[in-house]
Every structure is written in structure tokens, then in C-alpha cells.
Structure 1
Amino acid sequence: MNLNKEISKHIESIFEESAKTFSSYQLTKELPCLSGCGACCLSQEISASTSEMLPSAFRLLNDEGIERVEELLDELEGTPSKTCVFYHRNSEDGTKGYCMNYSTRPAVCRSFGVAAYRDKNGGKT
């Protein structure tokens, strides 16, 4: 367990460094995420590695206890969810909401909002 905690702390430090890099890029390129938007959390194509989820697992265990961890594991082993188990919907279609795991979200979630498409007039979309 101690080795896993050490690995988890190292992963968290990588997350913190990447957050600074992504935030800087987003500000420089004027590509901020819209507040309350959860559209990226609806994708079924996104996955995270086990090691990326270690900080989340330790946070859950420390903050909410083993019962909550077991509840989430049961949910994950049951019918696959169409959205992340940490995503809280604020709209019927799910495009509005927030991450209940924001502080320890995996790298894939941290990298959203650092890309954009150009519309036919060259504007960012």
C-alpha cells in the first residue's frame, strides 16, 4: 500500500505540472473551457489507466470511506455507464454539469480544452 501511495503522490505532482502547462496554453491561445460545460464527459471513447486513477482511489478512500469505493466498484462492474461515474449532470442532455472528482481527475480529463477547430471564417470553435 505504501508503494501505491508513493506512486499516487508522484502522479499527482505530474498532474499539477501538466495543469500549469495546459492552463498557460489555454490562456495564451484563448481556448478556455466554458464554465459548467460537461460535453467532453459524455464521450464513451475516453478511458483512463489504472495508475491515473490511483489519486482518485486514495482520495475516495480517505474522504468518503470504503463503502463509497465499493459502491463505485459495483457500479463500474454492473451495466457500463454512458458517462463517467464522477460526472454530475446538471441538464437533461448532460451537456451541463461538473466533475465530482476534479482535484484528482485523470490526465485525459485535464487535457480537454487545449485544442480548437477553425470555422469557415478562421475563428475558433
Structure 2
Amino acid sequence: MVLVGVLWGCTNPLLRKGSEEVTASSSSSSSSSSSSSSSTSPKSSKSEGKYTSIIEALKSFLNIKVWLPYVINQSGSVVFYILLANSNISMAVPILFSFLTSSLLGEPIEKPFQTILGASLILIGVTICVSSQE
């Protein structure tokens, strides 16, 4: 269960950071291309926008900073379902690892006391549930 928490919790901030970088780079490239295509008709610009969004989605998925954390995150889901099949308990602790990873990446935490208190209470609650199952 701790492995699931690590796989889910550590990858969430990495996914967020990778998608922000891809979005920032795509918005800078689309702003330069939109200024050159200002003479197109409304119908063609609508279809171009549709294809552009598909291409941007493919570019973001091909970026290693997006797909690698995504694959690791999904492996956490596989481990979670294996645990569900083999035990009575259906809880994991990704919040604590998400908090730690966000801190290591330097992301600001809006309410640190409440975040630490909430993560601690979740950790205590899961520990009680796991120990009562034995």
C-alpha cells in the first residue's frame, strides 16, 4: 500500500509540472503561428484549431516529462488493483507522498499547517485500519 502511495503521490506533482511546461511551450509556439495565419477564413481556422489541439495533445503525450510520470502513475493503479484482489482493505496514502514531492519540487503550499495536519490524520487513520485488519 505504501508502494501505491509512492507511485500515485510522487507522480501527481511531476505530471502537473510536465503538463505546465508543455502548455507553456505550446502557447508560445501557437501565438507566433497565429499571427502569421490571420488572413484565413473562419471555416478553415475552425478546422485548423481542431487539428492543432489534436497535434498539441500528441506532442504533450510524446514529451518524456508527461508520459513517464503517467506510466509510473498507471503502474500504481495496477498495483492497487492487485492489492484489492488480495486483501480486504482498499486504501492508500498518496497524499503524503504528493506533499513531499511537491515540497521537493519547490511548489508553494498555500496552507502548510492544514496540509500537514490532514496528511498526518490520513496516515493515522490508514494505520489504524490496517492494524485492525490483522
Q: Same fold (TM over 0.5)?
A: no
Structure (1/2) with the larger strand percentage: 1
Structure (1 or 2) with the larger CA radius of gyration: 2
TM-score using structure 2 length: 0.29
TM-score using structure 1 length: 0.30
